[in-house]
Amino acid sequence: MSAVLLSAAQASSVIPNSVIALTVLEKQDYSHWLENQPATIQSWLSAMNFSSGAQLLPAADGSAASAVFVCESLDDFFAAGDLSAQLPAGQYQIHNITDADALLAIAFAWGVGAYRFEKYKSNDKPQAQLVLADDDVLKAANDMVQAVRWTRDLINTPAGDMMPQHLAAATEEIAEQFGASVTQVIGDDLLSQNYPTIHAVGRASEHAPRLIDLRWGNPQAPKITLVGKGVCFDSGGLDLKPSAAMRLMKKDMGGAAQVLGLAYLIMSQQLPVHLRVLIPAVENAVSSNAFRPGDVITTRKGTTVEIDNTDAEGRLVLCDALTEAVTDQPEIIFDFATLTGACRVALGTELPGFFTNQLQLAGDLMQQGNKVTDPVWQLPLHKPYKDMLKSDVADMTNSVPGPFGGAITAALYLEHFVDETPWVHFDVMAWNNRKLPGRPTGGEAMGIRAVFAYLQNRYGS
């Protein structure tokens, strides 16, 4: 995809003096602005029946002299999400806004709104480009846009091209940009190095399961660990999903995509932390050696788990990764997973739910998420529901038979493996079922800008 956010120098090097002035307004300010425009502009906008959205304004010779965009509120980071599509190809520069935060929000929306998944379908139609004179705003916007694009691209890629080895290659590609290191534990080495649940879930696939481990930053800085569910395709295992439920299971590595997008943001913005990213990457396939309902697996922590359902595999691969994450004694662990349908029933597909053992952190996260239009919502770690995870033959079971409280019981299962470490678990859809401004149908980054805003507020200079 060609760049849609440009510096002034980049713009002038293409076609000098070709940038179109763009006025961006909130609806409440439109009438006052219109009153101060020439009669020809007022007549033109009246003829176009214009009151919101984007509109080119003609010069005397009929060329595009300028453009205007009117939205409800610039506090919404997606207010300008459709702007790049509403304007014809060309270069535009906002001339009536100088506030850096407002420009950042508009530039972010412009960039993510211009997103196209072009890996399998060519599209050479030129796009509108936004010119930014402030290099700091340009970099911050480009970093945010690129993090979202990375996340979307990884999720949108079909499973045949996004198996554990491909996910590892994507991790290495991101790491190389920022001087991070990546190590992997692959195949039967998962057993010899004591990651039995990751191995159990992934062993039936011809694509070897693995634990991907990225590290970046000063080891003396505050330690932050991200853990992402990397189930590259989920058939359900021997508890096979029906075809309708399997159709979008290429997105079941959406948790891994979220943490890689968040890691991109952290590293590109040089946040002063020591970052670790752990991705248990597997395919939950069906074969003669697939793990079975009723099997008992001893986890890395030493806890024995009875398999109630092989389609509750995400928490199995995460529990070994979380046990490893705790060994570094990080200040906080964030895990992301496309874990339960129950969370989607509770909150819908567009609002990510999260659980945490830190009450103050929960409020801060929701506040930061609202500021950057990346809302997240806390759900309860209701302790009495732990009884539902009891097993007659093992220390616990991996899922409960009833349909109620499924997101909570899944989170309680994961909490067992983090001990007292500050921890946040995100249960996300990672997919847009409908098109919204700046958010096309398909893979989506959910919650990562909220977490980054929280981390930036906590650790940033």
Q: Which residues participate in catalysis according to the annotation?
A: 241, 315
Q: Tell me if 297 sits within 8 A of 304, measured CB to CB.
A: yes
**What tokens were used for 220?**
């003396």
Question: Which residue, among 159, 232, 175, has the nearest Cα to 198 in the 3D structure?
Answer: 232
E strands in 188-238: 210-216, 223-228, 230-234
3-class SS at 137? helix
C-alpha span between 330 and 332 (Å, rounded) = 5
Distance between CA atoms of residues 27 and 42, nearest Å: 16
The token duo for 26 is: 């909130």
Region for 81 from its dihedrals, namely left if φ exceeds 0, alpha if ψ lies in -120 to 50, beta otherwise: alpha
b/e burial code for range 425-443 (CB count within 10 A of at least 16 → b): bbbbbbbbeeeebbbbebb
Cα–Cα distance between 249 and 232 in angstroms, integer? 8
Using an 8 Å Cβ cutoff, are 249 and 229 in contact?
no
> CA 6 to CA 131: how far, in whole Å?
5
